[in-house]
Amino acid sequence: MKIVESPYIYIDGRYERGLALLFGEEILDIATPSELKRLHPDIPTISMRGNGILFPGFVNPHVHLEFSANRSILRYGDFIDWLYSVIECRDILFRKGDEDTMRRACEEMLSSGITTFGAISSNGKDLGVCRETVQKVIYFNEAIGSSAEYAETIFEALVQRVHESRKDAKRYSLTPAVAIHSPYSVHPSLLEKAVGLAREEGMPLTAHFMESSYEREWLDTGRGGFAPFFEKFFGRDEPTMGAEEFLEKFDGYPTLFVHCTHASDTELERMKRGGDYIAHCPRSNRLLGCGRLEIENIEVPITLATDGYSSNYSLNIFDEMRSALMMHCDIDPLSLADRLIASITATGAKSVGSDAGRIEIGAPADMVFVELPEECDDTERLSLDTILHTKEVSKIWIDGEEIALPVGEVH
């Protein structure tokens, strides 16, 4: 056990002064430093000085490690152009994206304080890296395939991948989970079976939904930019299902829906009633020409995610928060900053079924220490100052163990 004291501690959305934590694998007590030292005189104390804040470990609920080799291979600016480039360059990216590349991506996330992340895996080649990383991983085995002929085969492969990711999962701090690629790329029978698998086994569930205007038009009318795409690659001239049919399959099972930049009010209301979450990926949405998620008008709980290098230039969660801060210019920056910090702590953890993301008695001792350049006595500014002036964290604990931060270039 150890005691840690910090100038500020982020507890339940507030910045508290004059407190310290007693922790082992879990947080055991929260009190004044003098009280904890009096009760536990033989326990070593870690004194975090300077202008710093002790946060719960940050959560990045949606990242594609498999595409970590991309820098300037894929085309940005328009979702369809990007999609064509993904298909053209997929083999190159998978070949270049070896375990060392994916390992560096994990280290980059760690440097910015991400202690838990959701890995979207389409082929299982990232499983070894996700097992060996020091972070906790929600391992989303992804179902993709719009052909009725191959739906059963794809599902059987999905079950096998889930089974493989379950082996020694506790020892590896890895949680098996299920991902659905999107309503336009999954056959209804495959969708029903994959969602059913998550329900039966109580696994976290996520799905891309309404990322682009092309998806909206294709699902609603069977026309638009997706029409020639599906005709060329799949010989189809209509979608396999509509948006409503897709969402019905998730009813009664809280799900993390990703992007949702073109979700309708009716769909958002359905998510709200269902206890769902939305993963907001502002830089990915901008680079792929998908528009802005109007978070000021959305009542579904929103978490922040980096997506992968396939549609981003870093996996740094501070970079993502700064972009969100500038993108949502109609929201007061102080209140938006508070919301963004909450989105990568408590809300982010809840969105993937994790018990982390909070500093309270009984919570996992996943914590990060952030140093600010100057002392600030105004707690209303601390979220904003953290986002504006931080690139990396200074110290990390996962399950109470201090983790060595990567040294040098990690991306």
Classified as helix, coil or strand, 228 is helix
- Which stretches does DSSP call E strand in 157-223? 174-180, 205-209
Q: Which of 10, 6, 26, 29 is nearest to 18 (CA)?
A: 6
Is the distance from CB of 213 to CB of 237 less than 8 angstroms? no
40 CA to centre of own chain: 37
SS3 state at 15:
strand
Beta sheet of 114-121, edge-to-edge order: 58-63, 114-121, 136-143, 174-180, 205-209, 256-259, 277-280, 302-304
Per the CB < 8 A criterion, the answer to whether 384 and 333 are in contact is: yes
What is the spatial distance between Cα 357 and Cα 75, in angstroms, rounded to a whole number? 35
Sign of CA pseudo-dihedral 179, 113, 287, 382: positive
- Identify whether the C-beta of residue 388 lies closer than 8 Å to the C-beta of residue 322: yes
| Residue 367, phi then psi, degrees to nearest 5 | -145, 150
3-state secondary structure of 178: strand
Q: Which single residue is written with the structure tokens 């986002």? A: 387
CA 285 to chain centre: 15
What positions carry a catalytic annotation? Answer: 211
* 8 A C-beta contact, residue 10 and residue 56: yes
DSSP 240-277: SS-HHHHHHTTTTS--EEEE-TT--HHHHHHHHHTT-E
Residue at token pair 């009096």? 38
Within 10 Å of residue 236's Cβ, how many Cβ atoms?
Answer: 17
